[in-house]
C-alpha cells in the first residue's frame, strides 16, 4: 500500500509542500501521496494525524510548538529548540524532527567564509537559525522590533538589540526572519537602519519566499549577493523527504525534482 503524507497549518492553502513532495514521489516512482490539512486547533494535531492514517507530515505556522508537544519522541536539533516541523509515524509512535535550520544551512552553502551574522527578527524561525549558527561556532547579533521576544536570546551567547539600542558592526551575512514585507511593504527595521546594515554586509538572505520584499529589493539595488526563502524551503523539504522515504531515494534526485516543482 502507498504511503500518505500531509502538511498541517493555518493558513495552509499557499503551501508549496504538496507540489514539492508529490513531484518527487511521482517522478522517482515512489508509491506515496502528499496532501494538505487545514488545522485550526493545534492541540488536535496528534489525533488528526492518526485519524488520517498518515505515515508522516510537515507542520507550518502556527503549529510547530504544538507539534513538539504532540510527539512521543523528539530527535536531534528539534529537541534543543522545542520546535518540530517534520513528523514520522514510527510503528504507531509520533517522532518529531526539525529540518528548517539544516535546510537554511544547506541553502547558504554557496556563501563562503561566514563568521559574523546579523539576524533580523526574534520569532520561531530566528530561534532555530540562531541555535544552529551558535552550534556552528558563528558570532551572532539579533535585532528585533520588540524587547519581549529578545528575552529567549538574552540567555544565549548572542548580542541583542532593539531598534533604539542598535549599533552596526561589519557582517558577513544578514538574514531577515521577520514577517515584515510578507503581506505589506514594510522593512524589518527603520529604512535608515536597514540602509546602514546593508552597507556593512557581504551576503543577504530573506526567509520570505514567493515575493521580493522591500528589504531584498534594496539589497539587490545595492548589488549584494542575495537569496530569498525558496532555497530554505527547498532545503527543509529535501531533508524532510529523506525522512519520509527512509533514505531510500538519492538526495540529489530529490532536490532536482523539488526544484522542478518550483516552475509549475
Residue numbers at the binding site for ligand NDP (CB under 6 A): 61, 100, 121-126, 144-146, 149, 177-180, 182, 186, 188, 207-209, 229, 232-233, 236
Other beta carbons within 10 Å of 113 = 8
Which residue lies nearest ligand NDP, judged by its C-beta?
A: 123
Residue ranges in the chain assigned as alpha helix (H): 17-27, 45-51, 64-70, 77-81, 100-107, 124-135, 151-154, 191-198, 214-221, 230-244, 251-261
The CA distances from residue 152 to 93, 115, 122, 126, 156, in Å, are 30, 22, 9, 11, 8
In the complex, what is the shortest distance from the CB of residue 131 to ligand NDP, in angstroms, rounded to a whole number? 13
Whole-number Å distance between alpha carbons of 262 and 230: 9
In the complex, what is the shortest distance from the CB of residue 50 to ligand NDP, in angstroms, rounded to a whole number? 25
The CA distances from residue 121 to 6, 37, 153, in Å, are 28, 28, 11
Closer of 159 and 179 to ligand NDP (Cβ): 179
In the complex, what is the shortest distance from the CB of residue 100 to ligand NDP, in angstroms, rounded to a whole number? 5
Sign of CA dihedral 249, 253, 256, 261: negative
In the complex, what is the shortest distance from the CB of residue 71 to ligand NDP, in angstroms, rounded to a whole number? 19
Closer of 10 and 186 to ligand NDP (Cβ): 186
Catalytic residues: 64
Whole-number Å distance between alpha carbons of 69 and 72: 8
Whole-number Å distance between alpha carbons of 106 and 242: 14
Closer of 115 and 220 to ligand NDP (Cβ): 220
Nearest to 117 by CA among 155, 152, 157, 147: 157
Closer of 6 and 125 to ligand NDP (Cβ): 125
In the complex, what is the shortest distance from the CB of residue 124 to ligand NDP, in angstroms, rounded to a whole number? 4
Closer of 109 and 113 to ligand NDP (Cβ): 109
Amino acid at each position: 500500500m502507498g504511503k500518505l503524507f500531509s502538511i498541517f497549518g493555518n493558513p495552509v492553502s499557499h503551501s508549496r509542500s504538496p507540489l514539492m513532495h508529490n513531484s518527487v514521489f511521482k517522478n522517482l516512482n515512489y508509491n506515496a501521496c502528499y496532501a494538505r490539512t487545514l488545522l485550526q486547533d493545534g492541540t488536535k494535531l496528534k489525533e488528526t494525524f492518526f485519524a488520517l492514517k498518515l505515515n508522516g507530515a510537515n507542520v507550518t505556522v502556527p503549529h510547530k510548538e504544538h507539534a513538539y508537544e504532540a510527539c512521543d519522541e523528539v530527535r536531534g536539533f528539534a529537541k534543543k529548540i522545542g520546535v518540530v516541523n517534520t513528523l514520522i509515524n514510527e510503528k504507531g509512535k509520533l517522532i518529531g524532527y526539525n529540518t528548517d535550520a539544516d535546510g537554511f544551512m544547506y541553502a547558504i552553502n554557496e556563501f563562503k567564509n561566514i563568521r559574523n551574522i546579523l539576524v533580523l527578527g526574534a520569532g520561531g524561525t530566528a530561534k532555530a537559525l540562531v541555535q544552529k549558527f551558535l552550534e556552528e561556532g558563528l558570532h551572532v547579533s539579533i535585532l528585533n522590533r520588540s524587547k519581549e521576544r529578545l528575552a529567549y536570546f538574552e540567555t544565549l551567547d548572542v548580542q541583542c538589540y532593539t531598534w533604539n539600542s542598535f549599533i552596526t558592526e561589519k557582517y558577513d551575512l544578514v538574514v531577515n526572519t521577520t514577517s515584515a514585507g510578507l503581506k505589506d511593504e514594510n522593512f524589518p527595521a527603520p529604512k535608515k537602519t536597514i540602509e546602514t546594515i546593508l552597507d556593512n554586509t557581504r551576503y543577504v538572505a530573506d526567509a520570505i519566499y514567493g515575493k521580493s520584499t522591500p528589504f531584498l529589493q534594496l539589497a539587490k539595488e545595492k548589488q549584494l549577493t542575495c537569496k530569498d526563502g525558496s532555497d530554505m524551503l527547498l532545503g527543509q523539504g529535501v531533508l524532510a523527504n529523506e525522512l519520509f522515504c527512509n533514505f531510500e531515494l538519492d538526495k540529489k534526485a530529490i532536490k532536482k525534482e523539488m526544484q522542478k516543482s518550483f516552475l509549475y
